[in-house]
Amino acid sequence: MNSSDMIRAVDLGKAVDTALGQLTILKGIDLEIKESETVAIVGASGSGKTTLLSLLAGLDVPTRGKVFLGPYEITAMDEEERAHVRSEMVGFVFQTFQLLDSLTAIENVMLPAELKRDPDAEEKARELMARVELSHRLNHYPRQLSGGEQQRVAIARAFASSAKILFADEPTGNLDTRTGANVIDLLFDLNAEFGTTLVLVTHDERLAGRCGRSISIASGMLVPEGAGAPA
């Protein structure tokens, strides 16, 4: 593999068994994303974007093909090894924030770095909470925070663990337009500062336009460049 590839998928496919028979969600995806690239994955609802992101991040396993993250072939690993690579390399920002309700904001931000036994976990978390302008909310629980604040905590958490790759799945999907715009500015600012590779699923054309390039997906397949956006 080319040494500057941070993410590489080869003939990646996913099928699931349903009550109505087998459903093929992804049909042989090949892609390469280089270090520090910002890439938007766009496509209609149900086209397979979340499934693709989950496979690239090692949160789910494919039914065929391979995924490489940096030097690791995660599709050749068991769940424990994948978890290790995730904690080493990967941060996530989800549409539904996915903070742990029983932990305060700063505890949520510290958790991934603590799991890596980073002795500076708390200091880094404080810095990131300041960076997302939430120093006054360190000890609040997620339910005491607005949606925009929760997503800023999630962004702080994603960067606090020094992830090399950040996956974001419709990070503004549950936010109003203005709050969403603030969250996105923050995401791109931090991404540029940290030199993270960013893979972002979005419906939002403007948001996709801020990425270095877009990958379109329709019915579980990549739409070749120049073929136009799917309807």
Q: Which residues bind ligand ADP (CB under 6 A)?
A: 16, 18, 23, 25, 43, 45-51
- The CA-atom distances, in angstroms, between 49 and each of 71, 164, 204, 219, 231 are 24, 21, 14, 10, 15
Strand partners, 213: 39
Between 50 and 196, name the residue whose CB sits nearer to Mg ion.
50
User: Is residue 11 within 8 Å of residue 64, measured between CB atoms?
Assistant: yes
CB of 109 to ligand ADP, least distance (A): 26
Between 47 and 108, name the residue whose CB sits nearer to ligand ADP.
47
**Which residues sit at the interface with Mg ion, rule CB under 5 A?**
50
CB of 212 to ligand ADP, least distance (A): 21
CA distance 177 to 122: 32
Between 50 and 161, name the residue whose CB sits nearer to Mg ion.
50
* Torsion angle of C-alpha atoms 130, 133, 139, 145, degrees rounded to 10: -160
In degrees rounded to 5, what are phi and psi of residue 104? -70, 170
CB of 46 to ligand ADP, least distance (A): 4
Strand 21-34 and strand 5-18: the pairing is: antiparallel
Which SS3 state, helix, strand or coil, does residue 82 take? helix
User: Is residue 149 within 8 Å of residue 134, measured between CB atoms?
Assistant: yes
CA distance 212 to 199: 10
Between 226 and 231, name the residue whose CB sits nearer to Mg ion.
231
CB of 169 to ligand ADP, least distance (A): 7
Q: Which residue is nearest to Mg ion (CB)?
A: 50
Between 50 and 150, name the residue whose CB sits nearer to Mg ion.
50
Between 50 and 104, name the residue whose CB sits nearer to Mg ion.
50
Residue 70 binds what, of ligand ADP, Mg ion, none (CB under 5 to 8 Å, by partner type)?
none
Residue 16 binds what, of ligand ADP, Mg ion, none (CB under 5 to 8 Å, by partner type)?
ligand ADP
CB of 95 to Mg ion, least distance (A): 7
Residue 62 binds what, of Mg ion, ligand ADP, none (CB under 5 to 8 Å, by partner type)?
none
Which SS3 state, helix, strand or coil, does residue 53 take? helix
Residue 212 binds what, of ligand ADP, Mg ion, none (CB under 5 to 8 Å, by partner type)?
none
CB of 198 to ligand ADP, least distance (A): 17
Residue carrying the six token digits 């993270």: 196
Residue carrying the six token digits 């990425």: 211
